[in-house]
Amino acid sequence: MLKYIGLRVFQAVLGLWFIATLVFVLSRSVGDPAEVFTAQFATVEARGLMEQRLGLDKPLYYQYGLFMGQLLQGDLGTSVRSSIPVTQTLAERMPATFTLALVAMTFALVFSIPLGGLSAVYRDTPIDWIAKVIAFVGQSMPPFWLGIMLIILFSVVLGLLPPVGRGGLNSYILPGFTLGWAVMAGMVRLVRSSMLDVLDSDYVTMARAKGLAEVVVVSKHALRNALIPVITYSSLVFGAFMNGSIVVE
């Protein structure tokens, strides 16, 4: 077990090192970073001073060591647009993104688990067909289009929810629904397929042979084991929410 954990930690560290190295290489392959931090018509002396300030006048290996050292200390540099530290910007903006991701994930789990479970239990019935239609429609609508349509309907036409801004709980309804809708649709299919595999397993057949009620068999024996891949998928999706919810925001 310790060997497995150590291997996974090593793989994670190796992946982070590769990403950081790739960022360093790409930032210097597209041009001179000093030109980005100076005015468009700045003099050669001004760019030289900026190079000294950023350490760009040093050898490339020295720049790489400085970059990795600052990264290990949590120093992500200064934003080109706002001229404030990146860590400060993340500290100011991250709570809003985290809250939105949490609302979207809660919405996806609350609706996908019951709907996917019922779709598997009542396969080839109207409930199953409704779940399939919801999954198909949900994965067919891009979030940016769905968000615009919801703003037009609930904010412009009906005037029930705010179209922009971060305030009370009602300000998270539209973006949370928009962000979680496609994920909810995918989770319905995942829960359904996982439940179908579990319901056909031997231990579920044995539980039914013992005379247990169908509710107990489904909720206690089938659903618990069917949620294992759902939990794994949810953790990956939550990380993607933290990184890729900029369009909805």
Residue 192 lies in a domain: yes
Same domain, 13 and 50: yes
5: its two tokens: 């954990």
Q: Where a domain ends, among 75, 109, 139?
A: 75
Confidence (pLDDT) at 42: 63
Q: Is residue 36 part of a domain?
A: yes
For the stretch 148-189, pLDDT in tens is: 888 888 878 787 777 776 777 777 778 888 888 878 877 888
Please give the pLDDT value at position 35: 64
pLDDT score, position 27: 73
What is residue 192's three-state secondary structure? helix
pTM flag (> 0.85):
no
User: Can you give the pLDDT at residue 96?
Assistant: 78
Choosing from 53, 75, 97, the residue where a domain stops is: 75
What integer pLDDT is reported at residue 191 of this predicted model?
Answer: 82
In a domain, 173, yes or no: yes
| Closest to 113 measured CA to CA, from 234, 244, 239, 237 | 234
**Which residue type sits at 76?**
L
Q: Give CA–CA dist 233/181, Å, rounded.
A: 15
Q: CA angle 221-117-192, nearest 5°?
A: 105
Does 229 lie in the same domain as 129? yes
**Residue 249 resides in a domain:** no
Residue 83 inside a domain? The answer is no
Which residues form the domain of 201? 88-244
Q: Are residues 144 and 71 in the same domain?
A: no
Q: Which residues of the chain, if any, have pLDDT below 50?
A: none
What Rg, from alpha-carbon coordinates, does the chain have? 25
CATH number at residue 182: 1.10.3720.10
Category of 166 on φ-ψ map: left (φ > 0), alpha (ψ -120 to 50) or beta: beta
Q: Domain count of the chain?
A: 2
pLDDT for res 31: 64
